[in-house]
Structure 1
């Protein structure tokens, strides 16, 4: 089973033209070659870890000037347990997160990023932080009568997806013509395009769309039942995690040990991120492993 959330569609898009070699990896906060054994101790000594986020609620965003959302909340809890007191955020476009990580602008991507084989070829992921299937947001009353991407293809619906988002590949696999897939920069752009009639449905994870509807309470839209897209015969449920530079295995492994203490306790998981719309249904099962997701 292949799972993913927001994804780059090609390796070129993933790298943004940035090549990574062993000589370009750097120690967090320095220009020196990265020493994995020292990385966590370096973060502890400096008292902070630099995290990249994309301003995408409810995964990672700013709320009243504070870093909020599922990923920063979990990551703050985990790094504090590891002896690193502070997350220092850098806001960037979603498509620039991995290039920024590889360029050393931050140490961890804290954005609920999908775990996909294409990304695993360039970076290393934590174990899954959450799972979430896909859904469609439509105008109130669902005038096109769509329920999933196959029905969008059958009924000639125009589908909105986010830039660099895996939903574009889901739509293509479901038979939606390229000309009927519209790319949008932000979640709010998707809702606005829907209300303006430029698209008939906005495809994203169910958790994201529920949050978008909640924060636009007066908008005449509705979110349909979640569904699991199929690409090449494989179900695409949706699993996200933290992202680290290649070579930071020790830091990733320490992170995973603390993460599994949280995902192993649904009550603790919901207690931390329930305010962002995450429920026990979004807790990843123990059987779901990043190694399997990376293998496709």
Structure 2
């Protein structure tokens, strides 16, 4: 998110208050508690997977951001739900019960117990790692810009946006805002948008000069708006504080869910360790072997910054 992400996806939490009234639940909530009695603290989660197996479903939160996690004809679709369904099925949990919410409300909703896993292709960042547990990377996707056809400003990355005075659109709670700031784009030249489609519409209306998001998200947006007079630049890797931002995303768990996270990782690495299998599962959403995370890319390093 990128897209509300990203693609990754890929977002900083800005308001922990976006909880009540934002979620649209596509499945009933489980009544079981996942905190230590009398304390409210996350419990040791060695038994959570067994609990999920007994009840037969896992509750997942998603943000309606294609191609990461969205509804297609009433069905939960996208990269993250597809991988997560495969993984949880292998773990003996066959059903994903989904809750749709705004991207910025996903982590607060997870921490409040509205769901067990965030299934939205969320970017792994140090700020988020301080609040939650991430799986190992599910995918990598560099950043790109969507611009009007012909690229009138001649921009190719965020540094060139800063140099030309371009106005840049980013999604609410998205990491791309921090990338733009690090590249020297002034705060008043960064416009926040709620949805991917809002970014494309703002671009066509001339309210922004470029829309920054993960390359995979922008390719999908262009694909689903084939008649729009826009184009997507070549991907680039932003740099923040001298560190390259690879745009890796993963599943998100509460801090106590180490047992569930570890079991999830074992199955995830079976998929990402076999690029053909990865593409077989999520190629329909525009993911290729270029989005397979390298074995050397670890969540612990991404969390360390």
Whole-Å Cα distance in 2 between the matches of residues 239 and 130 of structure 1?
A: 6
Alignment of 1:1-296 (within 5 A): 5-8=9-12, 13=14, 15-16=16-17, 29-31=31-33, 33=35, 34-296=43-305
Whole-Å Cα distance in 2 between the matches of residues 80 and 114 of structure 1?
A: 24
Residues 14/240 of structure 1: CA separation in 2 closer, same or farther (3 Å cut): farther
Contact kept? 1:101, 1:107, Cα under 8 Å:
yes
| DSSP 3-state at the match of 1:261 | helix
| DSSP 3-state at the match of 1:294 | helix
Residues 143/32 of structure 1: CA separation in 2 closer, same or farther (3 Å cut): closer
Residue correspondences, number:
282
| DSSP 3-state at the match of 1:50 | strand
Residues 148/253 of structure 1: CA separation in 2 closer, same or farther (3 Å cut): same
Contact kept? 1:53, 1:109, Cα under 8 Å:
yes
Q: Residue by residue, what CA displacement relative to the aligned partner does 1:72-125 show, whole Å, maximum 9, x if unpaired?
A: 000000000000010000000000000000000000000000001111111000
Quote how far apart the aligned CAs of 1:17 are: 8.8
| DSSP 3-state at the match of 2:49 | helix
- Could you list the runs of 5+ residues in structure 2 that have no partner in the other structure? 1-7, 20-29, 36-42
Q: Residue by residue, what CA displacement relative to the aligned partner does 1:7-52 show, whole Å, maximum 9, x if unpaired?
A: 216xxx264499xxxxxxxxx7413534512211110111100000
Residues 217/67 of structure 1: CA separation in 2 closer, same or farther (3 Å cut): same
Whole-Å Cα distance in 2 between the matches of residues 42 and 262 of structure 1?
A: 24
Quote how far apart the aligned CAs of 1:6 are: 2.1
Q: Residue by residue, what CA displacement relative to the aligned partner does 1:238-264 show, whole Å, maximum 9, x if unpaired?
A: 100000001100000000000000000
| DSSP 3-state at the match of 1:291 | helix
Quote how far apart the aligned CAs of 1:267 are: 0.1
Whole-Å Cα distance in 1 between the matches of residues 52 and 161 of structure 2?
A: 48
Contact kept? 1:14, 1:98, Cα under 8 Å:
no
- Could you list the runs of 5+ residues in structure 1 that have no partner in the other structure? 19-27
Whole-Å Cα distance in 1 between the matches of residues 144 and 185 of structure 2?
A: 15
What is the aligned partner in structure 1 of residue 38 from structure 2? none
What is the aligned partner in structure 1 of residue 27 from structure 2? none
Contact kept? 1:14, 1:119, Cα under 8 Å:
no
Contact kept? 1:160, 1:190, Cα under 8 Å:
yes
What is the aligned partner in structure 2 of residue 23 from structure 1? none
Whole-Å Cα distance in 2 between the matches of residues 148 and 36 of structure 1?
A: 43
| DSSP 3-state at the match of 2:92 | coil
| DSSP 3-state at the match of 2:213 | strand
